[in-house]
Amino acid sequence: MNYPIYLDYNATTPCTEEVIAAMLPYFGVHFGNAASKSHPHGWVAEQAVEDAREAVAQLIGAKSKELIFTSGATESLNLAIKGVFEQFSSEKQHYITCQTEHKAVLDSMAEIQRRGAEVTYLPVNADGEVDLSRLEQNIQPHTKMICLMWANNETGVIHPVQEIAQIADKHGIIFLTDAVQAVGKIPVNTNGIHLLAFSAHKMYGPKGVGALYVRHNHALPKPLAQLHGGGHEKGFRSGTLNVPGIVGFGKAAQLRNQEMNEEADRLGKLRDVLESGLLELPGVHRNGSIRHRLAHVSNLSFSGVEGEELLLKVNQRVAVSSGSACTSISPKPSHVLQAMGIAPDLGRASLRFSLGKNTNTSDIETCIVWVKKTLEVLWNR
Looking at the annotation, which residues are catalytic? 326
Q: Which amino acid is at 92?
A: K
Judge contact between 299 and 355, C-beta under 8 A: no
Put residue 61 in one of left, alpha, beta given phi > 0 → left and psi -120 to 50 → alpha.
Answer: left
Between CA 318 and CA 293 the distance in angstroms is: 23
**Dihedral (CA of 181, 187, 193, 194) sign:** positive
